Amino acid sequence: MRLNRAKLLGKWGEKKVSLLLGLLGNGYKVFNDVIIKNGNWTSQIDHLIISHYGLFVIETKNYKGWIYGGVDQEQWTQNIWGHKTSLSNPIRQNRGHIMALKKILPEYSVNQYKSIIVFSSKAKLKTFLPKELNVIYTWQLLFRIRSFKEYILTDENIKEITDVLQSQMLTAKEYKKIHVSNVKQITKRKENLVQSGKCPRCGRELVLRKGRYGRFYGCSNYPKCTFTLKKES
């Protein structure tokens, strides 16, 4: 029931953002709930906007409570009155979405993509994150998108990107099922690696370390690999 409720809340959060993005006007092409092929897998993007100002890749997080997390942490933490749960690092998630888009749009550079992470106004971000990472609240979304003023895509670019995207989008229900199945497989693989004492990013050994906030497991390949995992009490 908790999983179903979380899924419904997530969809409701995406719906609210979809309605909000509809206010941007004709200069912005908005695509919601985009699924594209990513090698043997799929990548699901909450919202994608194509405009003269770049490709805006938006990840929606309809959470509440206090949210803690660093740029390179594998997992972030949600704290509601002392009850803590983990969530995937949305910055890393969106980087993955951008890399998937680059596979079908290889001629466009990274600086033409704008990653935006949108949290519900019921959440409170408790970790300082640089402004350029665009980790914001829902009420800031339109202001942030409209703050980009530099033309970096031509009309021809926009048409080409739109045509490629529409030809690559997977919208049928069966592909959504494949996406969910793939995510579960990736998660299971990471869990198995961690349980065997291996880093899920690079496969090197995990070592127990002591930090400012207690004991944690870190990759032995640090600083090349920055994976960390909090040690459970």
Question: Is a pLDDT exceeding 60 seen at residue 106?
Answer: yes
Q: Are 107 and 97 in contact (CB under 8 A)?
A: no
Q: Work out the number of other CB atoms within 10 angstroms of the CB of residue 193.
A: 16
Percent of the residues in the chain that have a pLDDT greater than 90, as a whole number: 55
Q: Are 47 and 58 in contact (CB under 8 A)?
A: yes
Say if residue 223 is preceded by a cis peptide, omega within 30 of 0.
yes
- H-helix or E-strand spanning residue 92: helix 90-104
Question: Is a pLDDT exceeding 80 seen at residue 230?
Answer: no
* Amino acid at residue number 9: L
Q: Give the residue, 175 or 130, on which the prediction is more confident.
A: 130
**pLDDT on residue 215:** 83
Strand ranges in the chain using DSSP code E only, listed in sequence order: 29-38, 41-51, 54-61, 65-68, 75-80, 83-88, 113-119, 123-125, 135-137, 206-211, 214-219, 228-230
Q: 41-51 and 29-38: which strand pairing?
A: antiparallel
Compute CA 199 distance to the chain's CA centroid, rounded to the nearest angstrom. 21
Question: Is a pLDDT exceeding 70 seen at residue 3?
Answer: no
Q: Are 68 and 127 in contact (CB under 8 A)?
A: yes
Q: Residue 214 corresponds to which tokens in the numbers above? A: 């207690």
Q: Residue 157 corresponds to which tokens in the numbers above? A: 């670019």
Q: Work out the number of other CB atoms within 10 angstroms of the CB of residue 107.
A: 10
**pLDDT on residue 7:** 53
Q: 206-211 and 214-219: which strand pairing?
A: antiparallel
Q: Residue 92 corresponds to which tokens in the numbers above? A: 């890393």
What mean pLDDT do residues 65-91 have? 92
